Amino acid sequence: MPAEPLPTPSVGAVALREPRYGRVAMALHWLLAAMIVGSLGVGLYMTGLPFSPQRLKLYSWHKWAGITILLLSALRLLWRLTHRPPPLSARVLAAMPAWQRAAHRISHALMYLLFFAVPLFGWAYSAGMGVPVVWFGLLPLPDLVAVDKDFAEAVLKPLHQRSAYLLAGVTLLHVAAALKHHWIDRDGLLQRMWPAPRKESAG
Amino acid sequence: MTTRLLWAGATLLGLALHAAAEPMPATAKLVPEKSQIAFVSKQMGVPVEGSFKRFDAQVAFDPKKPEGGSVVLQIDTASAGFGIPMSDAELPKPTWFDTAHFPQASFRSSAIKALGEGRFEMAGKLTIKGVSKAVTVPVSITSSGGAYAVATGTLTIQRLDYKVGDGEWTDTSVVGNEVQVRFKLTLGGLGPL
């Protein structure tokens, strides 16, 4: 075999120079990503089920997951406020016109807002329907609102549903933007949040 | 005149003697709009309260002398609801109350015992969905002013004893077997406590 040519800069090589989020931030990002996508999927599926033990189980699991998402999001927000994310590198910024930089900030702020709003509306909806949330069937949580089934159906249910759809929409944009940076700009942005171990050297 | 008075006296005496021989306690009248029968079951660990909207009671007992009295309660099973349309639509079905075959649940007392201070123990037969079980219901009666008295109490039953929640619903990890029945019955014309 002839000697290998010098390694050419690849996405991986660029990533070596891309500053990354810390372990805790990454763990919270991916755990919450999985839980939020899972809860949204369960939420969409369960509402179409006929009255059955399966339906009651899924509703409870959905609520337990929602409260867990709420708590983890609080932890995540605290972590985010006390641990500055790595700055976007010049290479990433070069791929972003001003409107994309604005969209980047707005979409992240909006997602954080929705991490709280969606589960809180869900919790309030359940309480308003006279079904208190008992976390994992063990810890009864206080009712966020007084029982008022008409108000819960007319106001809290659509708030929960629409805020969840909005979160799903912003999340899709978030994923699309990350993939655009990865596949089109090839600027190594994905490495900021990609938990794979960093290759120490090319040879 | 004298004859008439004598007659009247004799009639009154006769009535009094009759009452002494066969004590017939006055029948109290249920005030439905001031009465409630609620049930609480645990669904996935969450206490969920429902209620029966239609029921009637025949209460014939003297709180001073309850042994000879009787209490009969009929509950219209089709009036059960949690106030959640989807669950309420299920309750009349054969799996739950089977209201087509068993439109009424009932309690019929067999022995009433005074425990003092307005508390009573009513032993009797509870019938739901055609299944009868002996139960003992603790009841507290307080005066609510005027001619009205309020009887309250709580009874815990096992729903599967009465086949309420049959088939796939026998899974008590989803809907618990224990059901707490709470009642508050306002009665008019009950004897003094």
Q: What DSSP line would sit under A61-120, residue for residue?
A: HHHHHHHHHHHHHHHHHHHHHHSPPPPPPHHHHHT--HHHHHHHHHHHHHHHHHHHHHHH
- Any bridge partners for residue B127, and if so which? B106, B132
Nearest-CA neighbor of A59 among A115, A133, A116? A133
CA distances from B142 to B59, B149, B152 (A): 15, 6, 9
Structure token pair of residue B165? 């929640």
Q: Flag if A60 and B168 touch (Cβ within 8 Å).
A: no
Q: pTM, whole model, 2 decimals?
A: 0.81
Q: Which of residues 70-129 of A touch B (CB under 8 A)?
A: 129
In three-state secondary structure terms, B19 is helix
User: Does A34 reside within a domain?
Assistant: yes
CA-derived radius of gyration, chain B: 21
**pLDDT above 70: residue A203:** no
Find out whether B77 and B55 touch, Cβ atoms under 8 Å: no
CATH number for the domain that contains residue A25: 1.20.950
Find out whether A57 and B96 touch, Cβ atoms under 8 Å: no
Find out whether A66 and A118 touch, Cβ atoms under 8 Å: yes
**pLDDT above 50: residue A57:** yes
CA gap B51, A185 in Å, rounded: 63
pLDDT of residue B27: 83
pLDDT of residue B3: 58
User: Does A10 reside within a domain?
Assistant: no
In whole numbers, what is the pLDDT of chain A averaged over residues? 90
pLDDT of residue A17: 63
pLDDT of residue A86: 92
Task: Tell me, rounded to whole angstroms, the distance of Cα B146 from its chain centroid.
Answer: 22
User: Does A201 reside within a domain?
Assistant: no
Q: How far apart are the first and last CA of chain A?
A: 16
Query: What residue ranges of chain B have pLDDT lower than 70?
Result: 1-26
pLDDT of residue B2: 55
Q: Which residue segments constitute the domains of chain B, with CATH numbers given?
A: 25-188 (2.40.128.110)
Task: Work out the percent of chain A whose per-residue pLDDT is above 90.
Answer: 80
Pairwise pLDDT comparison (A32 vs B15), residue with the higher score: A32
A to B CB pairs, distance under 8 Å: 44
Structural domain harbouring A146:
15-192
Nearest-CA neighbor of B78 among B126, B31, B129? B129
**pLDDT above 60: residue A118:** yes
Q: Flag if A51 and B89 touch (Cβ within 8 Å).
A: yes
pLDDT of residue A8: 45
User: Does A202 reside within a domain?
Assistant: no
User: Does A3 reside within a domain?
Assistant: no
User: Does A200 reside within a domain?
Assistant: no
Which tens digit of pLDDT belongs to each residue from A152-175?
999 999 999 999 999 999 999 999
pLDDT of residue B122: 96
- In chain A, how many domains are there? 1
- Any bridge partners for residue A134, and if so which? A140
Pairwise pLDDT comparison (A183 vs A12), residue with the higher score: A183
Of B83, B86, B168, the CB nearest to A130: B83
Which residues have C-beta within 8 Å of that of residue B82, sequence separation ≥ 6?
Answer: A130, B48, B49, B50, B88, B91
Looking at beta carbons, which residues of chain B come within 8 Å of A66?
none
Find out whether A119 and A63 touch, Cβ atoms under 8 Å: no
In three-state secondary structure terms, A180 is helix
pLDDT of residue B61: 86
Looking at beta carbons, which residues of chain B come within 8 Å of A56?
43-44, 174-175
Q: Kindly report which listed range (A3-12, A87-96, B87-96) carries the lowest average pLDDT score.
A: A3-12
B40 touches chain A (CB under 8 A): no
Please state the rounded mean pLDDT for residues A119-143. 95
User: Does A99 reside within a domain?
Assistant: yes
Looking at beta carbons, which residues of chain B come within 8 Å of A60?
43-46
pLDDT of residue A3: 46
Confidence of residue A177 (pLDDT cuts 50, 70, 90): very high
Q: What is the DSSP letter of B156?
A: E
Helix (H) or strand (E) segment spanning residue A28: helix A23-46
Find out whether A72 and A28 touch, Cβ atoms under 8 Å: yes
Q: What is the DSSP letter of A192?
A: G
| Separation in Å, CA of A52 to nearest CA in chain B | 8
| Separation in Å, CA of B158 to nearest CA in chain A | 18
Find out whether B155 and B181 touch, Cβ atoms under 8 Å: yes
Which tens digit of pLDDT belongs to each residue from B18-31?
544 455 566 889 99
Of A51, A132, A149, the CB nearest to B46: A132
Count Cβ atoms below 10 Å from residue B15 Cβ, excluding itself.
10
Task: Tell me, rounded to whole angstroms, the distance of Cα A18 from its chain centroid.
Answer: 22
Q: What is the DSSP letter of A183?
A: I
What percent of chain B is helix, strand and coil (3-state, nearest 5)? Answer: 20, 55, 25
User: Does A2 reside within a domain?
Assistant: no
pLDDT of residue A46: 97
pLDDT of residue A19: 86
**pLDDT above 80: residue A197:** no
Structure token pair of residue A87? 């700055």
**pLDDT above 80: residue A184:** yes
